Amino acid sequence: MARFTREELETFYGAAVPDLLPGPGQELRLLFVGINPGLWTAATSTHFAHPVNRFYPALFQAGIIDRPISPADGMTEADREHLRERGIGITNLVHRATARASELGAEELREGSKALTDLVLRLRPRVVAMAGITAYRTAFGLPKATVGRQPTMLGESELWVVPNPSGLNAHETVASLAAAYAEAARAAGVIGAR
């Protein structure tokens, strides 16, 4: 596993990580939306890459991917293609890397919701799954929103809010994350009904 000093990671403040989106001829069924890249994610140019992040273990446990992905050193092209073939994309609400999502301001989150809406209108995924209820509430101006399927669509896409997989979200487990992600994945047709 890659090792970074605090000083090395701090050089990635403000960096962006490219979206992971299906290529030509590949359908986008499920678009996961992180809040913003962490510094480890920016350093490896791989979404949800921090070693204690539970995103990929939860995807595997949910059956959304059929093999483990360990992105802490950076995702391989084979890993990226596996996600694309499954119809899965990953983007961020805000593209600026920070040490913690709490470093983002409300206006930055609201601007991110506009850019996300534009992306969703262009790509038209079946389901958009935003990882993080607090950021979602702020970004979309919905202070009473709850986790799960939202009552409104985002363009033509179902909109879901799922728990954030960050290790800082300590009350969630891989199992609880997998259950929430599986619901959105079933709605997107990535996995079958159970």
Q: Answer for the pair 101, 129: CB distance below 8 angstroms, yes or no.
A: no
CA 81, 58, 91, 9 torsion-angle sign: negative
Paired sense of beta strands 127-131 and 30-34, if any: parallel
pLDDT of residue 58: 97
Q: In Å, how far are 62, 84, 139 from 65, measured between CA atoms?
A: 8, 10, 29
**Angstrom distance (rounded) from CA 2 to CA 129:** 29
For the chain, which residues make up each domain, given as ranges?
6-188
Paired sense of beta strands 148-149 and 158-162, if any: antiparallel
Residue 23, beta-bridge partner list: none
pLDDT of residue 1: 65
pLDDT of residue 187: 97
Sheet with 30-34: strands ordered across: 88-92, 30-34, 127-131, 158-162, 148-149
CA 20, 26, 32, 33 torsion-angle sign: positive
- Superfamily of domain 6-188, CATH level 4: Uracil-DNA glycosylase-like domain (3.40.470.10)
Nearest Cα neighbor of 39 from 73, 16, 65, 63 is 16
pLDDT of residue 170: 75
Per-residue pLDDT of the chain (194 residues; tens, 9 = 90+): 678 889 999 999 999 999 999 988 999 999 999 999 999 999 999 999 988 899 999 999 999 999 999 887 889 999 999 999 999 999 999 999 999 999 999 999 999 999 999 999 999 999 999 999 999 999 999 999 999 999 999 999 999 999 999 877 778 999 999 999 999 999 999 998 64
pLDDT of residue 59: 97
Burial class (CB in 10 A: 0-12, 13-18, 19+), 176: middle
